[in-house]
Amino acid sequence: MGDWLSTLRRKAELRERAGLRRELRPRAGDDALIDLAGNDYLGLSRHPEVRAAAASALDEYGLGATGSRLVRGSTDAHTALEIALAGWLGAEQALVYSSGYLANLGAVRALCGPRTLLVSDAHCHASLIDGCRLAGAETVVFAHGDPADAARVLAAHPGRPAVVLTESVFSVDGDLAPLAELHAAARAHGALLLVDDAHGLGVIGRAGAGGAVAAGIAGEPDVIVTATLSKALGGAGGVVAGPQALIRHLVDTGRTFIFDTALPPAITAGVGAALELARAGDPLRAVLHERAAAIRDVCRAAGLAVTDPAGGVVSVEAPSAEHAWSWAGACRDKGVAVGCFRPPSTPDSRSRLRLTVNAGVPAADFARALEIIVEVRP
């Protein structure tokens, strides 16, 4: 009976040798590390208006939603947030989930029929990959950020219903998908386009409305947008936005919606307050983009391989998984939190530090963090 435990221990040893061990590192509320690891891009998670909205809803509704959205979990706060999200994203309707991961699983599954072809960017997030697996549909991966290759795949399967899957700002390297071109390629072959806007929402586009708005394709009947509410909006939850018929289908049939406890009302209300701040947050976005460019410039001046950021994510290549782990640890020891991305969290075999901008970090702390990252590099 202990053989399965021995197998797990052996696998853990192999991961340790390959530099792929992961650890949970609890942080205190007064954690003093300079944050270049979290996704609170606009620094809204602690904004007084966000906290006040959450506290008021906590008093009104209590701690949890007490049930799924279709049982007792839907509140006025959920409805208000969905209306605001649909308007911001330029979509007919929006549906709030308890996480962006579940939103992606549910959206991909809902778009699939018996013959559907899923055409997925090579760098798509794990939640989209798992959505493809859950859907059980044939999936073909196209070259990262390459609309011509996506068109080639679609042309090779004429007459089949298809969905092209991409992120807007990619979660690992922070580069921007050519959304207008991908949409044109999808439409030319009668396919849908699903855009995961997790790292674009609040960060790019008019009034921070995300990648689909920036590309001029928001509200098109063949475009579906998903996002998490845990990044630029500083909270938790997810959203699917698109045609009303899709939202109706998700409410009626979507297992990751129907059978999941709803997002707590306090978080829902806090996210709603954050959305209004983000919509009016052009000065914060300006700081974010300036700092992302500064990370790129400082790292390149130091001879490091670094990506061109489209939003708040900047990727700095590490020599190996072991070096990425030790580099991140050295940064932490010096008071800076950075992301350490190694396989399988990366879409290729390369390991990286992933640096994320928080516009709420004091300027002096941000400058010091960059100095430390360069100083302790492998």
What's the CATH code of the domain at 364? 3.90.1150.10
pLDDT value, residue 1: 58
Mean pLDDT of 40-47: 97
- Cβ atoms of residues 269 and 79 within 8 Å: no
| Residues 65 and 32 reside in one and the same domain | no
| Residues 295 and 349 reside in one and the same domain | yes
Containing structural domain, residue 106? 48-279
Report the distance separating Cα 91 and Cα 210, nearest Å: 12
Mean pLDDT of 344-369: 92
Mean pLDDT of 3-18: 91
149-177 confidence digits (pLDDT tens): 999 999 999 999 999 999 999 998 999 99
- Cβ atoms of residues 273 and 50 within 8 Å: yes
pLDDT band at 29 (very low <50, low <70, confident <90, very high): confident
Mean pLDDT of 213-235: 98
Mean pLDDT of the chain, nearest integer: 96
pLDDT band at 18 (very low <50, low <70, confident <90, very high): confident
Residue 15, domain member (yes or no): no
| Residues 263 and 192 reside in one and the same domain | yes
pLDDT band at 124 (very low <50, low <70, confident <90, very high): very high
| Residues 187 and 330 reside in one and the same domain | no
Mean pLDDT of 174-201: 98
Q: Counting beta carbons within 10 angstroms of the beta carbon of residue 317, is it exposed (0 to 12), middle (13 to 18) or buried (19 or more)?
A: middle
| Residues 169 and 92 reside in one and the same domain | yes
pLDDT value, residue 30: 85
Residue 56, domain member (yes or no): yes
| Residues 246 and 320 reside in one and the same domain | no
Residue 228, domain member (yes or no): yes
What DSSP state is assigned to residue 264? P
Instruction: Decide if pLDDT at 2 tops 70.
Output: no
pTM, entire model:
0.94
Residue 124, domain member (yes or no): yes
| Residues 36 and 90 reside in one and the same domain | no
Q: Which of 201, 265, 194, 259 has its CA nearest to residue 233?
A: 201
Report the distance separating Cα 249 and Cα 245, nearest Å: 6
52-87 confidence digits (pLDDT tens): 999 999 999 999 999 999 999 999 999 999 999 999
Q: How many domains does the chain have?
A: 2
Compute CA 286 distance to the chain's CA centroid, rounded to the nearest angstrom: 20
| Residues 236 and 334 reside in one and the same domain | no
- Cβ atoms of residues 199 and 357 within 8 Å: no
Instruction: Decide if pLDDT at 88 tops 90.
Output: yes
pLDDT band at 268 (very low <50, low <70, confident <90, very high): very high
pLDDT value, residue 370: 97
- Cβ atoms of residues 374 and 299 within 8 Å: yes
pLDDT value, residue 348: 76
Mean pLDDT of 295-324: 95
| Residues 115 and 151 reside in one and the same domain | yes
| Residues 213 and 358 reside in one and the same domain | no
Mean pLDDT of 262-271: 98
pLDDT value, residue 341: 86
Question: What are the angstrom distances between the C-alpha of 332 and each of 36, 307, 329, 343?
Answer: 10, 22, 5, 21
pLDDT band at 27 (very low <50, low <70, confident <90, very high): confident
Residue 12, domain member (yes or no): no
Domain finish residue from 258, 279, 300: 279
